[in-house]
Structure 1
Amino acid sequence: MADFYPFMDPQLIRENFIETPIAKEYAYDMDTARFKTKDGKMYFVYENEALKVKLWKLFMSERYRWVVFPWSYGHELETLIGQAYTQGYVNSEAERFVKEAIKRALEDYIIRLEEFKVNFDEGTLYIDFRAITIYGKLEMNNLNIRR
């Protein structure tokens, strides 16, 4: 093949191919909002467990609010809270905001979202979905967004 296409060396193409790194994040307890420790030291989790932490952090960070994050990081869900929108509008916009936030931050790892549910109760937006990742299925339940 190298003779037929002298400008294309399959070996060079393979060597220059960039693979997505394995998802890695410090273990985090979402209920207490603290890092998990073993023997007094923080430790890493990988693949879907790391993506779960990354997703949780993503949806605890409002877009454009924190100087430490680039403007492309975070969500815009808080703009739906406290407005006189219909439930159908809130559901569709919440799904769009979630998909856009994930695409900007984690598109290399998350293939698609399934079973997306939104519930609005007393000033808090609750979101559930299943993410199909490059590692398998990942359930995200009771992500709560407050203003």
Structure 2
Amino acid sequence: MIPTNDGLQHDFELENQPTKTFKLNLDKNRIVGKIDEIEALKQAIFLILSCERYEHIIYSWNYGFESNDLIGKPIDFVMSEVKRRILEALLQDERITGVDSFEFNRNKKKLHVTFTVHSIYGDFTEETAVNHQND
């Protein structure tokens, strides 16, 4: 038998949980307090894009950014794939509503990518770098 809504009404409201997390000082490899909302989201984006997807069993297969297989590929292919993969990685986070305005700047070994993140806390610009040449 297929369940149906028999007139029951929900007597609860959904609430967003706080996003408070530990603030990482990457230069000193230390935790230095706590952050919330937009700063926590910026740190989450940095961590997502810094973690190679499928490489660490502690993380879900939905977490991280695939970049290792782009090394040695043609730069036009790398640029289109980086855009798609950044979108795929970041839109897993429910605080992010969109990512656009991609700009690419390449040098010999790295492709620097700047993009705009639209979130429930506001819009901001982020950047990352992807290796496209062997070291």
The TM-score normalised by the length of structure 1 is: 0.74
2:30 paired with 1:35 = yes
SS in 1 for 2:85: helix
Structure 1 residues 56 and 33: alpha-carbon distance in aligned structure 2, compared to 1, 3 A threshold: farther
**Which residue does the alignment assign to 2:81?**
93
Structure 1 residues 86 and 122: alpha-carbon distance in aligned structure 2, compared to 1, 3 A threshold: closer
Shift of 1:109: 0.3
2:46 paired with 1:56 = yes
**Which residue does the alignment assign to 1:70?**
60
Query: Where in structure 2 are the equivalents of 1:1-147 lying within 5 Å?
Result: 7-9=7-9, 12=11, 15=12, 17-30=13-26, 32=27, 34-37=29-32, 43-83=33-73, 85-87=74-76, 89-104=77-92, 106=93, 108-141=94-127, 143-146=128-131
**Which residue does the alignment assign to 1:40?**
none
The TM-score normalised by the length of structure 2 is: 0.80
Shift of 1:57: 0.5
**What code does the residue aligned with 1:35 have?**
R
Residues 91 and 98 in structure 2, CA contact (< 8 A), matched pair in contact too: no
Higher helix share: 1
SS in 2 for 1:59: helix
Q: Distance in 2 between matches of 1:34 and 1:114?
A: 31
Q: Percent of aligned pairs with the same residue? A: 24
Shift of 1:6: 7.2
Q: Deviations over 1:71-107 (max 9, x none)?
A: 2211112322222x242x3222111000111123x1x
What are the ranges of 5 or more consecutive residues in structure 2 without an aligned counterpart?
Answer: none
Give the root-mean-square deviation of aligned CA atoms: 2.3
